[in-house]
Amino acid sequence: MRNHREDVVDQALRVLDTYGLADLTMRRLAKELGVQPSALYHHFPSKQLLLAAVADELLARGARPEPDGTWEEQSRACCTQLRDAMLAYRDGAEVVATVHAFGLGAQAPERALADAVAGSGAAPDLVRAATRTLLHLVFGHTLDEQTHLQAGSAGAIDDDPRDRSDLEVGVGLVLDGIRARTAAPHP
Amino acid sequence: MRNHREDVVDQALRVLDTYGLADLTMRRLAKELGVQPSALYHHFPSKQLLLAAVADELLARGARPEPDGTWEEQSRACCTQLRDAMLAYRDGAEVVATVHAFGLGAQAPERALADAVAGSGAAPDLVRAATRTLLHLVFGHTLDEQTHLQAGSAGAIDDDPRDRSDLEVGVGLVLDGIRARTAAPHP
DNA sequence: ACCTGAACACCGTTCAAGT
DNA sequence: ACCTGAACACCGTTCAAGT
């Protein structure tokens, strides 16, 4: 079949979105590519690293141009973009959160968020803590949201706005906390 | 062998702590109990529900008496207790966070946290959003912390304080945000 | 109530060998 | 560079049958 690395990732994303993470197996993916399971190990040394590439590609496809505005607007935009990117694929939040937790990929959102938060002028330790807090908040809320979304996939036209607003409120709490801790250098 | 439900959960916790979540399989657990794998299905209808019972028991073992003090002290105490309970077992954070995400158990911490946060007198919607935010924050930070802790398990005497303080800072940001949004009724 | 024995339908990964 | 074929060492779950 002569697949390239990108073909494998592309097909993996298709299998993920169509059948879900539980059915994204090496054997299933191989079958979908018309290839033996062992052939996949020519492109990736393990399933974990394949999933890391899948997470990175998923995030890249959801990337939007860098937002301008205040650091708070930029931070909110980062969070929204991350949420939207993960929701765009079935089980996207689980894939991204897992890959990030194991430190194998999905690191771009943390960097973007750190840059935005740093715009507040807060001390580096506070920037790091706040960035991680926002990231975990987006991961957690979106994981919940996607689980409910997919559980009640029968009939539901669009998403329960409760989850989205809970996320926005949570982000707001953290941003306010940063502002309160950051003395304006020269008002 | 005539095991009871509690014996199964107890042994599962032992296997988890000794060999980790990846090795906590129905077959492995059955072998450890001196029983056939199919026997476990007399006690639990699925591995998922067994894991839910494991998460609940893990949390119950880490339970401490209800703290007194201000709502902020109580909230901090809830977060610390949850973190400590999950860190007390190998892969504890992953088990609890997963079970909670799927809505099969591990709901006690959210209730306790909601009660503490409600003491602020904030509006119900804010209490709900803030509670979920704190919960996701503790799950995320502790998952990271435990991953690093277990990855560098060789030689490291005690934990890197960076993670713990990041969690405390994150909780502080959220609590400050709640206070700022909650007008004192009669000062 | 609790368990056995046997089966079903799968997994991830390795490795020599092919083109 | 990319893939095959075959194997290894596993999984969760079901179900008739036993005590």
Spatial CB neighbours of B59, under 8 Å, sequence gap ≥ 6: B82, B85, B96, B106, B108, B109
Q: Give the B-side interface with A, CB within 8 Å.
A: 101-103, 125-126, 128-130, 132-133, 135-137, 139-141, 143-144, 147, 165-166, 169-170, 172-174, 176-178, 180-181
Spatial CB neighbours of A156, under 8 Å, sequence gap ≥ 6: A149
pTM of the prediction? 0.96
The model's pLDDT over B93-119, given as tens digits with 9 standing for 90+, comes to: 999 999 999 999 999 999 999 999 999
Q: Is the CB of A26 under 7 A from strand C?
A: yes
Q: Which nucleotide is nearest to B3 (CA to C1')?
A: C2
The sign one gets for the Cα dihedral B120, B124, B129, B131 is positive
State which nucleotides on strand D lie below 7 Å from a protein beta carbon.
1-7, 10-16
Helix boundaries (H) for A34-153: 47-61, 71-87, 92-101, 108-118, 124-151
Q: Is the CB of A47 under 7 A from strand C?
A: yes
| pLDDT score for B184 | 56
Res. B187 pLDDT band, cuts 50 70 90: very low
Q: Is A61 helix (H, G, I), strand (E, B) or coil?
A: helix
Cβ atoms within 10 Å of A121's Cβ, excluding its own:
13
> Tokens 């036209």 map to which residue?
A157
d(CA B24, CA B21): 5
The model's pLDDT over A121-148, given as tens digits with 9 standing for 90+, comes to: 999 999 999 999 999 999 999 999 999 8
d(CA B176, CA B181): 9
Spatial CB neighbours of A121, under 8 Å, sequence gap ≥ 6: A182, A185
- Please, what are the domains in chain B? 5-45 (1.10.10), 65-183 (1.10.357.10)
Q: Using an 8 Å Cβ cutoff, are B90 and B43 in contact?
A: no
Across the interface, whether the CB atoms of B133 and A103 are under 8 A apart is answered no
The sign one gets for the Cα dihedral B118, B123, B127, B130 is negative
Cβ atoms within 10 Å of A119's Cβ, excluding its own:
15
Average pLDDT, chain B: 94
Q: Is the CB of B22 under 7 A from strand C?
A: no
> Tokens 């996939």 map to which residue?
A153
Dihedral over alpha carbons A66, A67, A73, A74 (to 10 degrees):
10
Res. B186 pLDDT band, cuts 50 70 90: very low
Cα–Cα distances in Å, from A146 out to A91, A149, A160, A168, B140? 7, 5, 10, 16, 17
Least CB–CB distance from A166: residue in B132, B172, B173: B132
